[in-house]
């Protein structure tokens, strides 16, 4: 009997059940891969072969997105009960913001580096589709997920985590990547309308983040460290910080005729980057602490990728507007951290997929009853 049980544990999942527990959090793998390509292509260093490598990573992210969209469609078609349960689960529902950001990040990478392989016209067409769909999904999630949290989810301040930021950050990604399409629109009303919409989404996401962050920080200060598996999600706070700084730089570059646009980008971005670096150090210390206490691999490790990537693009934008060499080297250092985190998460995810552990039914988390030291 023990032998039969052991064989059952290692037997591949049936095709009809392999995607039953495939949640929206898997879109984080696409986001984390796409940002490696976009951030690397804009590095202020003439590294031979870097752009080609970034184009290959972008192609990988596009393939991952297509595969995941198909798998998630199968999930909804065959396991609607589980899909509805995900929406009503306060720990899973916020990850629907990752769908929008996956679409947007791959689309943005198409314009930045993917055009080298598919041509500028195809890049504009693909990015337009991904941007429109991703923005629509992101705006819907920014309203629907908080609505579910208020009306249907049974949550307390003890449950507050940086995951709550995911639905409201996606409009900021739209705001940062929208300016890439501005030159390809007819001059006048079309370009101005898109820029105005980007500014509106910037405000939507920024103000919603400012409402959420005190809840997250208050939970840490009064409730102690997050559970070990959730500790990497502390890096999610970097997302709105880095992405908003990136957006401010993109606005200045898309509308150079606006007086003081570059100065405003620097005036906003430098203080925000200062806070982002402080949070990076704090979150890094918490992750190292959790690792020493036995934190194993989980999909939450992907939180170490995309948010750090937004800080890379933020530093790159500030370096362009200020001309400071220190900011260029900051971008390079953050990119090295990003690539290391991405390689680690990607290898561990591939191992988990090969063994079937990552697609198995999740175990119920142990309740947290007291602060650990």
Could you tell me if 142 and 170 are in contact, meaning their C-beta atoms sit under 8 angstroms apart?
A: yes
Encoding tokens for residue 135?
A: 């923005």
Q: What is the CATH number of the domain that holds 134?
A: 1.50.10.150
DSSP string, 85-139: HHHT-TTTGGGHHHHHHHHHHHHHHIIIIIHHHH-HHHHHHHHHHHHHHHHHHHH
Q: What is the pLDDT of residue 1?
A: 37
Q: Is residue 373 included in any domain, yes or no? A: no
Nearest by Cα to 75 from 31, 127, 13: 13
Two tokens at 149?
């949290």
Neighbours of 367 (CB within 10 A): 6
Residue 1 lies in a domain: no
Give the closest residue to 185 by CA, choosing from 252, 269, 127, 230.
127
Q: Is residue 10 part of a domain?
A: no
Q: Could you read off the pLDDT of 34-52 as tens digits, one per residue?
A: 999 999 999 988 888 999 9
80-131 pLDDT tens trace = 888 888 888 888 899 999 999 999 999 999 999 999 999 999 999 999 999 9
Residue 372 domain-assigned (yes or no)? no
213: domain range? 16-358
- Assess if residue 365 is contained within a domain: no
Pick the closest to residue 292 from 351, 225, 370 (CA basis): 225
Within-domain flag for 6: no
Residue 4 resides in a domain: no
* CA quadruple 351, 355, 356, 360: dihedral sign: negative
Low-confidence ranges of the chain (pLDDT < 70): 1-16, 256-261, 361-373
How many independent structural domains does the chain possess?
1
Residue 277 in any domain: the answer is yes
DSSP code of 92?
A: T
């Amino acid at each position: 009997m023990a032998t039969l049980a052991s064989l059952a544990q290692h037997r591949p999942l049936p095709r009809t059940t392999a995607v039953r527990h495939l949640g929206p959090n898997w879109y984080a793998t696409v986001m984390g891969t796409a940002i490696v390509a976009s951030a690397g292509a804009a590095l202020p260093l003439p590294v031979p072969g870097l752009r080609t490598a970034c184009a290959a990573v972008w192609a990988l992210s596009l393939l991952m997105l297509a595969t995941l969209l198909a798998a998630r469609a199968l999930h909804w078609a065959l396991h609607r009960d589980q899909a509805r349960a995900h929406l009503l689960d306060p720990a899973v529902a916020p990850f629907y913001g990752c769908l929008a950001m996956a679409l947007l990040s791959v689309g943005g990478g198409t314009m930045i580096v993917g055009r080298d392989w598919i041509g500028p016209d195809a890049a504009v067409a693909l990015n337009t589709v991904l941007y429109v769909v991703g923005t629509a999904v992101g705006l819907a999630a920014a309203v629907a997920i908080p609505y579910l949290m208020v009306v249907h989810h049974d949550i307390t301040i003890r449950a507050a985590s940086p995951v709550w930021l995911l639905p409201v950050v996606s409009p900021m990604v739209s705001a940062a990547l929208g300016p890439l399409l501005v030159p390809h629109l007819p001059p006048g009303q079309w370009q101005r309308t898109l820029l105005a919409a980007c500014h509106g989404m910037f405000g939507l996401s920024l103000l919603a983040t400012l409402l959420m962050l005190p809840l997250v920080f208050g939970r840490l200060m009064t409730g102690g460290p997050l559970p070990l598996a959730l500790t990497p999600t502390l890096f999610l706070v970097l997302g709105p910080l880095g992405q908003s700084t990136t957006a401010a730089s993109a606005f200045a570059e898309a509308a150079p005729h606006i007086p003081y646009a570059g100065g405003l980008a620097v005036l906003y971005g430098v203080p925000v980057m200062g806070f982002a670096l402080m949070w990076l150090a704090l979150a890094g210390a918490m992750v190292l602490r959790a690792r020493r206490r036995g934190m194993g691999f989980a999909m939450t490790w992907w939180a170490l990728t995309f948010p750090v990537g937004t800080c890379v693009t933020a530093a790159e934008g500030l370096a362009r507007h200020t001309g400071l060499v220190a900011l260029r080297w900051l971008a390079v250092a953050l990119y090295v951290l990003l690539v290391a985190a991405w390689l680690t998460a990607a290898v561990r995810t591939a191992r988990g997929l090969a063994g079937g552990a990552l697609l198995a039914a999740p175990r119920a988390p142990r309740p947290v009853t007291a602060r650990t030291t």
